[in-house]
Amino acid sequence: MPKKKKAKIKINISDLNFFFEKKQAISDFNLDIHANEILSVFGPAGSGITTLLRSLNRLNDLIPIARMEGEILLDKKSIYDHDINVTELRRKVGMVFDVPTPLPMSIFDNIAYGPRLKGEKNKKVLSEIVEKALKEAALWDEVKDRQKISALSLSGGQQQRLCIARVLALGPDVILLDRPCSGLDPISTAKIEDSLTQLKERFTIILAPHNLQQAGRVSDRVAFMLMGELIEEGENEEVFANPKDRRTSDYITGRFG
């Protein structure tokens, strides 16, 4: 039997502790996240999952009472090194939130907004970037002939895929998704899940899933968090079929949470 190829580590989290003033949101957290995988981080409300995601691109820096201890490495370099450009970090590690937030402008301008901020002015290049991002987010076929209409006129599912496309247009390495399907119908959810499965060939995806069923459908690996602690992580099928920790088993089977 051939040896399984060792996965490249994209993000390494070591001894992470996170506080909001005196309240500890994450405790002694250690996890390696592999390149080109979908990792689902699940757990009950208040487990620290959103805080964890926001730590990975330093969005928590925007909260004055937030404080971090430990180390987060992206491609073996600390995201807190003195020479890190935080704006560039957030381009490389893009985030999509649970509530879609299109800008009050056209579909085209929503996607082109980030590249324009970076200095891209060539209309042909911008058109190519927009088309590619919309295709990767599985939205192109629905909007290709109406890119000039307001993004606010799109359905909820389309707006969420637009927000994914907006992140993709910046050419990230990592995509963070915080319950991106929480308010969507099953058809819109399926379209996003299908696009994620294709996107992992080019990106590392860290997902706070809408529910356990979603984690089971799309993930390569999963991590279970409870009250700010990492309880268990591993291959998708292994954790769901044979959890090592009783708390994981209780959560998966609905005994709590």
Q: What is the pLDDT along the chain (257 residues), one digit of tens a residue?
A: 444 567 899 999 999 999 999 999 999 999 999 999 999 999 999 999 999 999 999 999 999 999 999 999 999 999 999 999 999 999 999 999 999 999 999 999 999 999 999 999 999 999 999 999 999 999 999 999 999 999 999 999 999 999 999 999 999 999 999 999 988 889 989 999 999 999 999 999 999 998 999 999 999 999 999 999 999 999 999 999 999 999 999 999 987 65
Q: Which residue, chain included where needed, has tokens 């963070």?
A: 176
Domain boundaries, the chain: 9-98+172-252
Q: Give the per-residue pLDDT at 6.
A: 74
Spatial distance between the Cα atoms of 142 and 134, rounded to a whole number of angstroms:
9
The token pair at 130 is 């927009």
In 79-155, which residue ranges form alpha helices assigned H by DSSP?
A: 86-92, 107-117, 123-136, 140-143
Determine the 3-state secondary structure of 137 from DSSP. Answer: coil
Contact (Cβ atoms closer than 8 angstroms) between residue 191 and residue 138? yes
pTM over cut 0.95: no
Region of 86 please: left (phi>0), alpha (psi -120 to 50) or beta.
alpha
The token pair at 128 is 């190519």
The token pair at 123 is 């209309």
Q: Give the per-residue pLDDT at 4.
A: 55
Main-chain phi, psi angles of 246, to 5 degrees:
-60, -35
The β-bridge relationship of strands 66-74 and 9-20 is: antiparallel
Amino acid at 87: T
Say how far residue 170 (Cα) sits from the centre of its chain.
14
Q: Give strand pairing partners of 67.
A: 19
The token pair at 158 is 């389309």
Fold of 9-98+172-252: Rossmann fold (3.40.50)
Supply the Cα-derived Rg of the chain in whole angstroms.
19
Region of 66 please: left (phi>0), alpha (psi -120 to 50) or beta.
beta
The β-bridge relationship of strands 93-96 and 174-178 is: parallel
